[in-house]
Amino acid sequence: MGAATLTDGGSEVRGPVRWWRGKSTPAKVETYTRWSFHFFVVVEVATFGLPAFSEVPAPTAGWLLLMVCAHAAACAVTASRALDWTRGRREQPVRLLWGLAAITAVIAATAIAVEELGPAGDGVDSAAGALFAGVLCYGAGVITLGVRDRLRAFAVVGGFAAASGILALPAGASGPGALGAMLAVLVGAGFLASTSMFSVWLLNAVYELDEARETRARLAVAEERLRFGRDLHDVMGRNLAVIALKSELAVQLARRGRPEAVDQMTEVQRIARESQREVRDVVRGYREADLGVELAGAQGVLTAAGIRCEVSGEADGLPAEVQSALGWVVREATTNVLRHGDAGRCAVALRVTPEHVVLTVENDGAGGPPGEGGSGLTGLRERLTAVDGTLEAGSVAEDRFRVVATVPLPTAPAVSEVVA
């Protein structure tokens, strides 16, 4: 048929980049959120563990680093399970949350002990004090991922701030020193807890928006089915009513022995055959369609789904059979953009030359590997074949998908290309 798959042989991306582009927007946001919390683990180790080697004797610094790594690992596991719970994939990790709180308290108490009983020196006190405040802040920030409402999150932050004062006072800290520790933990834990809560809110919002977008896509498909149902009703409703009336009239005439009954049944037979032909036209999609209406409808539906749609070109003056065939291309391409991939932009261009008409539909967010898919494109090729047209469809330039329909014109109209 002259159809070809558009591919960019040199643009096939492998490895992590292709894996990332194959994800939907919500999946990308979730992956980014998870790795952000895993990056916090690295920050915790780099901030409170590694600097100890420059300020504390080697054996003590090694123990401090080991404690920081243990706490960071516990935070990473707890954050991952808490995010799973947030998305409804697991039960609330209550044991992990209490376990992280216990590990945090033990390490904080150990840091205080090192500061009071460990080797003398300002470096030891500084490293131990930083570790003390750091584990409390990070512990509170991660634990808030596993609670549902704000009051409990505030209670977690306040509890860890109070715990810092409770641990500091018996260790010999002065009243202002203990108050300063509480304030530092309150600010640091509050910041990390707010970050955690905002991350969860953003992740849930993205998933909800994606679900709303899928709902709009399903509604668009349902609207198309309703339109098909209305077309079928328009075809069959009147004809069936006429058939019923003429059949009843033929029965009455036949009972009276009048010859007009034969004429009425002949008319019923004609209407039945005409209805059968019209139903075939509706089912097969060969009824004439207004390409201009289809272009405007596609732009409206895609815009409502949050996809920026640009339409260029004019369909005025094209033969009815050409408009009908290209109208179905617009419908099918619009449905594919809504139901597949993760498009943010779609461009529809209609170009008319003296020899042929070219309709191009291109969208981004195609994701997956290059190639064609679905039976819809096969159906479009069958419709285009009826008007000697061709269809080319496939991935181009990384994540973009393009559909190009070309239909020759039976006559040679003047060249018209209007950009809207």
What are the tens digits of pLDDT across the range 76-134?
999 999 988 988 888 888 999 999 999 988 888 888 777 766 566 666 777 777 888 88
What are the tens digits of pLDDT across the range 384-394?
888 889 999 88
Out of 169, 195, 211, a domain closes at 211
372 vs 338: CA distance, rounded Å: 16
pLDDT of residue 209: 85
**Amino acid, single-letter form, for residue 143:** I
What are the tens digits of pLDDT across the range 267-287?
888 888 888 887 877 766 545
Q: Are residues 35 and 181 in the same domain?
A: yes
Instruction: Check residue 47 and report its DSSP letter.
Output: I
Q: Which two tokens stand for residue 299?
A: 């732009």
Longest CA span, the chain = 125
Q: Are residues 185 and 308 in the same domain?
A: no
Q: Which two tokens stand for residue 199?
A: 């991350």
In a domain, 6, yes or no: no
Among 7-21, 203-217, 394-408, the range scoring the smallest mean pLDDT is: 7-21
For the beta carbon of residue 225, count every other beta carbon within 10 angstroms.
9
55 vs 60: CA distance, rounded Å: 10
What is the phi-psi region of residue 2: left when phi exceeds 0, alpha when psi lies from -120 to 50, beta otherwise?
A: left
pLDDT of residue 222: 78
pLDDT of residue 173: 60
| Residue 38 burial class via C-beta count within 10 angstroms: exposed 0-12, middle 13-18, buried 19 and up | middle
pLDDT of residue 405: 93
Domain count of the chain?
3
111 vs 137: CA distance, rounded Å: 14
* Domain extent at residue 312: 291-408
Residue 15 has pLDDT above 70, yes or no: no
Q: Are residues 171 and 306 in the same domain?
A: no
In a domain, 278, yes or no: yes
In a domain, 3, yes or no: no
Instruction: Check residue 344 and report its DSSP letter.
Output: S
What are the tens digits of pLDDT across the range 243-267?
888 888 888 888 888 888 888 888 8
What are the tens digits of pLDDT across the range 354-380?
888 999 999 987 755 444 444 567 778
> CA 201, 205, 207, 208: dihedral to nearest 10 degrees?
130
Q: Is the dihedral of CA 136, 138, 144, 145 positive or negative?
A: negative
314 vs 47: CA distance, rounded Å: 62
Q: Are residues 39 and 24 in the same domain?
A: yes
Query: Percentage of the chain with pLDDT > 70?
Result: 84
In a domain, 332, yes or no: yes
The three-point CA angle 234-240-245 to 5° equals 135
CATH of the domain at 280: 1.20.5
Q: Are residues 125 and 262 in the same domain?
A: no
What are the tens digits of pLDDT across the range 125-183?
777 778 888 888 988 989 998 887 788 888 888 888 888 877 776 655 666 767 877 88
